[in-house]
Amino acid sequence: PRPILDMSYSRHFLDFQGSSIPSSMKKLVVTKLSQNFREAVTLQQDSPVPLPGDGDLLVRNRFVGINASDINYSAGRYDSSVKPPFDIGFEGVGDVVALGLSASAHYTVGQAVAYVKAGSFAEYTVVPAKQAVPLPSVKPEFLTLMVSGATAYISLKELGELSEGKKVLVTAAAGGTGQFAVQLAKKAKCHVIGTCSSDEKGGFLKSIGCDRTINYKTENVESVLRKDYPEGVDVVYESVGGKMFDLALNSLATKGRLIIIGFITGYQSPTGLSPIKAELLPAKLLKKSASIRGFFLNHYLSEYQMALKHLLEMYEKGDLVCEVDFGDMSPEGKFIGLESVFRAVDYMYMGKNIGKIVVELPHSVNSKL
């Protein structure tokens, strides 16, 4: 048996609000590989609550984040060697309810933390203390920064070469990560164009500084770009794929850069890809001395702490809007409890969200008598 903690430290077996940690919990598990999230994932009712090792925290999750790539993970696209069953969910915010002895050098029971680690779609998650991020309080806004904010920050900093007056096109601009690309490009004094699917989203984008919004349901994106930006755009932050990728590529200026952070339109297909017109790609790039760069957050983890620190500071100072969508406007209402993760994923793929989709996990506290 692995050493958990010194028994003289037994208060760490206790929930900080005086109730004991249960022995079982609910969690979501991938039981079958499929791009259909509901087919791939099962809600398990009575999984054992994991025990923290010496350098670990046991976090009681209060808010978990929904990402487009949850479907890629449940389809087995990230690591073909991992076979079901495996845990799912990439990020959470919650309270430390137990911890190992070494971990107690830096953390205490009751502390608010955020983390990025597979397995957050659970009531409790064990998180290595060195991977946790201490927070001033448990707020869903902090969750928006962990994956979505960090992706926008690092990709634009490392690959965007932003400078004053550059024209930046953000696709799916009102989404979880798009909202940060818009704001960070504005902070770099760029002219920002954002595509979205409703006037409500357009209003949100204008409120966070977007210079030109294009509602692709009512306007022709290609025509607008050709008419208003005849010289092209300098940087595209692209997460949609398919036809939007083709449009973005065609709208690049000389020496323009297209940063791919995803292609959500294809994730629910068997291959995970949506078709693009790639045969003219070499000629198009050559003609404009343009470039395409892919960005996957896991390859930039050396930059992660710095990015997150800066983002947290900006949010705390009121310089960054962290929009959270709890699904209040969804047909069955707010996303509460692990069973609503399925609805939350559907809601994202229907393109309904404004900001980052977050699911709240309520916890009843049983006081010890």
Tens digits of per-residue pLDDT, 191-216? 999 999 999 999 999 999 999 999 99
Alpha carbons 311 and 149: distance in angstroms, whole number = 7
pLDDT at 365: 53
- Whole-prediction pTM value? 0.94
Classify burial at 106, counting beta carbons within 10 Å of its beta carbon; exposed 0-12, middle 13-18, buried 19 or more: middle
In the predicted model, what is the mean pLDDT of the chain? 93
CATH 3.90.180.10 range(s) for the chain read 16-138+323-360
DSSP state for residue 171 in the 8-state scheme: T
CATH superfamily of domain region 16-138+323-360: Medium-chain alcohol dehydrogenases, catalytic domain (3.90.180.10)
Average pLDDT over residues 348-362: 97
Q: Comparing C-alpha atoms, which of 197, 194, 165 is closest to residue 179?
A: 194
Residue with tokens 């926008």: 152
Contact 128, 56 (CB under 8 A): yes
Burial 303-333 (b: 16+ CB within 10 A, else e): bbeebbebbbebbeeeebbbbbbbbeebeee
pLDDT at 19: 55
In the predicted structure, residue 18 carries a pLDDT above the cut 90: no
Alpha carbons 244 and 54: distance in angstroms, whole number = 48
pLDDT at 367: 38
In the predicted structure, residue 12 carries a pLDDT above the cut 80: no
In the predicted structure, residue 160 carries a pLDDT above the cut 70: yes
CATH superfamily of domain region 146-299: NAD(P)-binding Rossmann-like Domain (3.40.50.720)
Alpha helices (H) in the chain, listed in sequence order: 37-40, 69-74, 140-144, 150-155, 178-187, 199-207, 221-228, 243-250, 281-288, 304-316, 341-349
**283-291 long-range contacts, Cβ below 8 Å, gap at least 24?**
284/249, 284/250, 284/252, 288/232, 288/252, 288/253, 288/254, 288/255, 288/256, 289/254, 289/255, 290/252, 290/253, 290/254, 290/255, 290/256, 290/257, 290/258, 291/256, 291/257, 291/258
Paired with 238 in beta bridges are 260
CATH 3.40.50.720 range(s) for the chain read 146-299
Q: Comparing C-alpha atoms, which of 3, 157, 28 is closest to residue 90?
A: 28
Q: Comparing C-alpha atoms, which of 212, 199, 192, 11 is closest to residue 96?
A: 11
pLDDT band at 364 (very low <50, low <70, confident <90, very high): low
Higher-confidence residue: 179 or 15? 179
pLDDT at 79: 87
In the predicted structure, residue 6 carries a pLDDT above the cut 80: no
pLDDT at 101: 86
